[in-house]
Structures are given as C-alpha cells and as structure tokens.
C-alpha cells in the first residue's frame, strides 16, 4: 500500500497506537448510530446512548420514490416513523438527516440529478428532529468514474453537508483521497465506511484510511462508519459479536465513529456488552 506524505511523528503515533490497541482494546465512547430506514425498521428502539451515542445519522427520508415524511412532492409510505418520539430519544439529540436515495447503488448513480433535486426539496421540510446537518445518500468509491459530476449538484444542497465513501477495490487511501480532492467541495464532509464488516480490510488498515483522509481533508471533515455486521453462513448478514467489534472500535479512538446500523444489528444485549467493554481496562484484544 502506498503512503501519503504524513509526518514521521504522525506515523510513529499510529504505530504506537496500534501496539496499545492490541494490548488494551478499550472501546471509546461512540458518537452515534446509523439508521437505514426500511419497512421493517419504521419504529426504531434501542439503548444506544449507553455506548455514548447521542447523534443519529438517518440514511435517507425518501428511498425509491417513497417518502417517510409528510410531503406533497412524492408518494408517502403507508406508515411513517414516530418522528416526535425519535426526536426525544437520548441517542438522537442531534440528527444528520439523509435525503433522497435508492436501495440499488447503480440506480442511484444513474439518477443523481433527480435525487439531488428531490433532496433539495426534502431538506426544506420541517420535522421535530434537531437537524444539525444533512447527508446526500449516494455513496462514492473509486470505481465510479462519473463521481465528479456530483460537485454542482451538491452545491444545491444545504450545509453542513456530508457524503459517504468506501473503497471496494482496495486501491488504497492515497488514490481514494486524490480522487476526492479533484472535485469534492471544500465544505462537504466525508463518512468513511470502514469495510471491516464485509471483510474488505482489517481495523488497523481502516484507521490508516481515516488518517490519510484526515491529513488531506482536515479531521473535522472525516468521520468513520463502523460496520456492526458480518457475513452470515448461507447469505445475508448477522450482527457482529463483541469479540469482533472490540478490536474494530478500539482502533478508531480519537475519531467520530457511528455504528451501522442501530435498528438492524445493535440489540440491547450487544449494546450492554459494548458498554461493558468501554468501561473495562486492560482487556487483551482477540
């Protein structure tokens, strides 16, 4: 893997951190959770605040031309989330509100103009939520050659604004960030999807990606989405175990980390185990 021109001091600190994390693997408080709304998770309930989470990243409030908020611009889902109750939850004190997206990534990328237009309209709607930023849910990776066409569309959306990126082909963090810097507006932040849940990379490598992104974009513009799932025998995904999550989350100390996702993969029992691991000291990493 190629290296960016990080200072020797920073590289040394990363190496020391790697040694410490292998010895201790103490999970730091987490910034928040992600909620990917679908028909099975319209009423999200959890105790994610026990992990430190007080921010909620809502992946989208409209997907595949169906809105989960009251609007006159597109069809509304038969049942809507209880937004008032969610606004009062301790794990949703601050909300980053995802706008219009599609479940199918290729379809989303082929329709970014219409999704941006719908997103601009959705962003003007009033909700009970304490919305502190917005998120445009069309994900970016190095295989998307037309990603730069997003730049003028993002200019039409409100700020603060976030997007998400991942590296499906393991080109490395330097190539990933170089591609972003060619077109990404300087006032748009990046959620980096760590790829650990799909076994694309180890946590220490995911942290290196975050370090390179932060070096070039600024740390305030980089946050990490930690995948709280693993492939399931027979297909699909299951919740990660605490032994799988402990070294993953401990590796990201010092970053804003959001677990993907709360309603699907973070049961109260697992949250309790994470909370206990956060309180522990001197636990050897697996």
**pLDDT at residue 10 above 50?**
no
Q: Quick one: average pLDDT of 213-221?
A: 98
**pLDDT at residue 9 above 60?**
no
Tens of pLDDT, residues 133-147: 999 999 999 999 999
Identify the pLDDT of residue 25. Answer: 77
CA Rg value for the chain: 19
Tens of pLDDT, residues 162-176: 999 999 999 999 999
Q: How many CB atoms lie within 10 A of CB 249?
A: 29
Identify the pLDDT of residue 4. Answer: 39
**pLDDT at residue 238 above 80?**
yes
Q: Quick one: average pLDDT of 180-203?
A: 97
Give me the chain's average pLDDT, please: 91
Fold of 28-279: TIM Barrel (3.20.20)
Provide the residue ranges of all domains of the chain, joining segments of one domain with +.
Answer: 28-279
Q: Quick one: average pLDDT of 35-39?
A: 96
The pTM for the full model equals 0.89
Identify the pLDDT of residue 222. Answer: 98
């Amino acid at each position: 893997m190629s290296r960016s021109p990080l200072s020797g001091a920073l590289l040394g600190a990363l190496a020391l951190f790697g040694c410490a994390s292998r010895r201790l693997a103490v999970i730091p408080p987490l910034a928040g959770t992600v909620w990917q709304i679908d028909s099975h998770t319209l009423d999200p309930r959890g105790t994610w605040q026990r992990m430190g989470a007080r921010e909620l990243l809502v992946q989208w409030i409209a997907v595949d031309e169906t809105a989960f908020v009251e609007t006159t611009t597109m069809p509304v889902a038969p049942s809507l989330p209880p937004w008032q109750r969610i606004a009062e939850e301790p794990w949703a004190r601050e909300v980053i509100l995802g706008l219009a997206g599609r479940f199918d990534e290729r379809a989303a990328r082929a329709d970014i103009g219409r999704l941006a237009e719908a997103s601009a309209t959705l962003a003007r709607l009033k909700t009970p939520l304490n919305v502190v930023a917005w998120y445009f849910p069309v994900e970016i990776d190095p295989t998307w050659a037309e990603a730069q066409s997003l730049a003028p569309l993002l200019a039409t959306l409100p700020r603060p604004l976030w997007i998400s990126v991942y590296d499906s082909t393991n080109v490395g963090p330097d190539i990933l960030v170089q591609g972003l810097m060619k077109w990404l507006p300087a006032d748009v932040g990046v959620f980096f999807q760590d790829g650990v849940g799909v076994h694309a990379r180890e946590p220490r490598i995911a942290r290196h990606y975050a370090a390179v992104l932060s070096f070039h974009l600024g740390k305030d513009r980089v946050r990490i989405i930690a995948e709280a799932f693993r492939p399931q025998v027979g297909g699909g995904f299951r919740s990660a175990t605490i032994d799988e999550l402990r070294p993953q989350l401990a590796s990201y100390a010092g970053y804003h980390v959001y677990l993907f996702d709360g309603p699907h993969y973070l049961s109260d029992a697992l949250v309790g185990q994470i909370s206990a691991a956060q309180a522990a000291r001197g636990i050897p990493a697996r």
